[in-house]
Structure 1
Amino acid sequence: MTKEECFYLGKIVSKFSFKGEVLIKLDTDEPEMYTEMESVLVEYNENLVPFFIERSSLQKSTLLRVKFEDIDTEYDAEDMVGAEVYLPLSMLPELPEDKFYFHEIIGFDVEDATHGNIGKVVSVNDSTAQALFEIKKEDKEILIPMNDEFIQKVDKKNKTIYLNTPEGLVDLYLG
């Protein structure tokens, strides 16, 4: 399985006990959805390796305490710290029509209320305080904040996002 077929679940941030347990910092708004998993994919030497879970429980809000099968010592657990954890895309819960996962909208056309078609979504930048649509129109890149006030509709069937951006925002990039 490749990373493209998976979604990022979180990162192993520390070992937890001398029995090989680790803490995974989950990158999700609903960590309780991931307490009953049977296995995860751990990135190890640039490969995704399946690890089976003996038991897991939430620690604080987004930390998942996990005991993997065959990871029985502090030394084994230490080797996993820093590794990223993934799950297959098929395990993502279905979202209502007006919500979307970032990976789902790559390639969608973007229609602005004022400017018409302003390009295609090539990426979502979520490393800033507010996530941004990265839109490509010919040789220009347009960055639009993912703001609920700007998003009029997401039409998954026709792969189109309808925006109503503030006056002048799109002109900054196209002007």
Structure 2
Amino acid sequence: MRTEDCFVLGTIIRQHGYKGDVVAKIDTDRPEHYDKLGSVLLESQGGLIPFFLDHSQLLKKDQLLLRFEGVKSAKEADAFMGKELFLPLNMLPKLTGKSFYYHEIIGFKAYDGESLIGEVAEVIERPGQPVLLIKDGVSEILIPAVDDFIDSIDRSSSSLYLQLPEGLIDVYR
């Protein structure tokens, strides 16, 4: 499996006990969705390798306790410290309404009301708020990805409808 086909669930941050259990700090709005995992992918030698789990349990909202199959001691668990946990994109919970995953809207046509602005090329993560990078063939337009600006998403037609303040697009053209 390629990293492009996966998302990072979190990072293994510490051991738990002396029998090889580890704790991963996870970054998700829906931690309960990942409570009972059967396997995860870890990066090794430039690729992703599947590792099966004997046990997976949510400790806190942002921490997941994992017991890797065949790992029986703290010494064996040392090899996992600092590793990122990957899962296939199809394991992400489906979103509806105005909620979206950043990777999901790449390539969507962006509209301000009825007017086509361009195509979403990237979502740039910035402190405070993410920013949509929209390309119209000539210009690159940066739009804050905030709820107030997002009117709706039509996944069937790959369209993102925005309600932008007057003059915002003109700044880039």
Query: Normalising by structure 2, what TM-score?
Result: 0.90
Alpha-carbon offset, residue 98 of structure 1: 3.7
Where does structure 1 differ by over 3 angstroms across 4 or more consecutive aligned residues?
A: none
Deviation sequence 1:148-171 (CA, Å, 0-9, x none): 111111111111101111223222
The residue number in structure 2 matching 1:131 is 130
Aligned length: 173
1:85 corresponding residue in structure 2: 85
Map residues 148-167 of structure 1 onto 2, 5 A cutoff. 148-167=147-166
Residue equivalent to 1:142? 141
- 2:109/2:116 contact within 8 Å kept: yes
Long gaps (5+) in structure 2: none
**SS at 2:157 equivalent:** coil
| Residue range with higher mean Cα deviation, 32-41 or 94-103 | 94-103
Q: Is the 8 A contact 1:44 1:83 kept in 2?
A: no
Matching of residue 110 in structure 1 with residue 136 in structure 2: no
Greater displacement, 68-77 / 104-113: 68-77
Counterpart residue identity of residue 152, structure 2: K
Matches within 5 A, 1:1-175: 1-113=1-113, 116-174=115-173
Q: For the residues of structure 1 that align with 2:168 and 2:15, how far apart are their CA atoms?
A: 46
After superposition, give the CA deviation of every residue in 1:45-103 in whole Å (9 maximum; x if it has no partner). Answer: 32111111111222222110111112222232222122111111222222224432221
**Cα contact 1:52–1:68 (8 A) shared by 2:** yes
- Kept in 2, the 8 Å contact 1:108–1:159? The answer is yes
Q: Distance in 2 between matches of 1:54 and 1:101?
A: 30
Identity of aligned residues (%): 43
SS in 2 for 1:90: helix
SS at match of 1:157: helix
Deviation at 1:28, TM superposition (A): 0.5
